[in-house]
Amino acid sequence: MEAKVAFDELDDALRRSGSSWDAAQTHGLLTGWLAVAGVAAGPDWLLHVLEGTDERNAMLAESRRLLDTLYQETYWELSERLSEFTPLLPGDDADTEQRTGAMAHWCEGFLHGLVSTEHAGPLKERLAAEPLSDIIRDMLQLTRAGIDQEADEESNEAAYAEVLEYIRVAAQLAFEELADIRDAET
């Protein structure tokens, strides 16, 4: 797999191209849609993220290039089951508050991806059953995540790392749990 898409680069390209989505939400949305629809999610996801952008905007081509790379690498990470999947979030050079806010946006996008596709009966049933119902409930709580203003930086950093690992594993589990739903669609 070639070099990964950098959070800051994609976030800047999306903003400059006029997208209403940030990089974290975009990746969360993609991850949710891939879990439900698999490889077929790509074109609709791209249109959704770039909806309302101006075709004449010079940054649109760069955004499309980055989004295509992100789509390919995310699908590969999830489908190869090598535990290489990582949510696209700001790097460690960003402060914990900024990374936590982006993580909350990632969870918003992920939930949107899980529930915004057409819900046939089997998908509704699967999303309402454990472990997916637990993941959805937890991710919903994480959309309101923030740092503990009274805790020290080290404690906030440890909590962030723990929640990030949960999100990483939960996204992979959701992808695995929905394999038969994706297979039924193709």
Poorest-pLDDT segment among 7-16, 50-59, 120-129, 166-175: 120-129
Task: Assess whether pLDDT exceeds 90 at residue 116.
Answer: no
In a domain, 36, yes or no: yes
pLDDT band at residue 1 using 50, 70 and 90 as cut-offs: very low
CATH value at residue 93: 1.20.120.740
CB-CB contact of 36 with 181 (8 Å)? yes
In a domain, 51, yes or no: yes
- Residue closest to 79 by CA, chosen among 126, 30, 44, 114: 30
In a domain, 41, yes or no: yes
Round to whole Å and give the CA distance between 81 and 101: 27
Round to whole Å and give the CA distance between 61 and 75: 21
In a domain, 69, yes or no: yes
In a domain, 171, yes or no: yes
Structure confidence by residue, pLDDT tens digits, 50-88:
999 999 998 999 999 999 999 999 999 999 887 789 999
Q: Which domain holds residue 127?
A: 7-185
Model-level pTM? Answer: 0.94
pLDDT band at residue 146 using 50, 70 and 90 as cut-offs: confident
Chain-wide mean pLDDT for the chain?
Answer: 92
In a domain, 136, yes or no: yes
Compute the radius of gyration of the chain from its Cα atoms: 16
Q: How many domains does the chain have?
A: 1
* Peptide bond before residue 131 is cis, with ω within 30 degrees of 0: yes
In a domain, 2, yes or no: no
Give the chain's end-to-end CA distance (angstroms, integer): 25
* Neighbour-count burial for 150-182, b at 16+ CB within 10 Å, e otherwise: eeeeeebbebbeebbeebeebbbebbebbeebb
In a domain, 115, yes or no: yes
Q: Would you say the C-alpha torsion 98, 103, 104, 110 has a positive or negative sign? A: positive
- Give every CB contact of residue 153 below 8 A, 6+ residues apart in sequence: 96
Structure confidence by residue, pLDDT tens digits, 170-186:
999 999 999 998 887 65
> What mean pLDDT comes out for the span 3-11?
92
Structure confidence by residue, pLDDT tens digits, 19-55:
999 999 999 999 999 999 999 999 999 999 999 999 9
